[in-house]
Amino acid sequence: EFKISDIVNDVIFDAKLLLKEGQQIKYRENITDLSLYQDEQVIELILTHLIHNAIKYSPENSTIHIDIQQNEDLTTIKIIDNGIGIPLKDQKNVFERYFRSENVINTEGTGIGLNIVKNHLENLDGIISFESEEHIGTTFIVSIPNTAKQ
């Protein structure tokens, strides 16, 4: 049992070391803060990867927003960046193992993270989706049941 706000604050604290010049992370703290009965470490890993990507793929002096909404059953987390975006033609491939878009050649990475994140979410009965526009930014949306399946 844990609160999603605690995990998010921990991940943001650790991610601060990676921020570029003038980058900041803004977390609009949710009013409802229900407990989750889920694998805390797995959810921390998922959020860490998505926030690291948001930092890596957005420029100096930009802001990353984290937004959380909860209802009785579901916790939904949005990670919103104003970065390079994912070209439309690549959007169907981003969850493939080792896929990297051609607009990321000057950054490090293997292309495996989102594949791992998606597999973990499926194990939790969760869902991941995104909206992205090249040169505008990307929003990843993760929904997780508040209680693990039996």
Interacting residues toward ligand ATP by CB under 6 A = 53-54, 57, 81, 83-86, 94, 99-101, 104, 109-115, 138
3-state secondary structure the chain: CEEHHHHHHHHHHHHHHHCCCCCEEEEECCCCCCEEECCHHHHHHHHHHHHHHHHHCCCCCCEEEEEEEECCCEEEEEEEECCCCCCHHHCCCCCCCCCCCHHHCCCCCCCCHHHHHHHHHHHCCCEEEEEEECCCEEEEEEEEECECCC
Choose between 16 and 32: whose C-beta lies nearer to ligand ATP: 16
- Between residues 36 and 79, which has the closer beta carbon with respect to ligand ATP? 79
Q: Smaller CB distance to ligand ATP: residue 53 or 143? A: 53
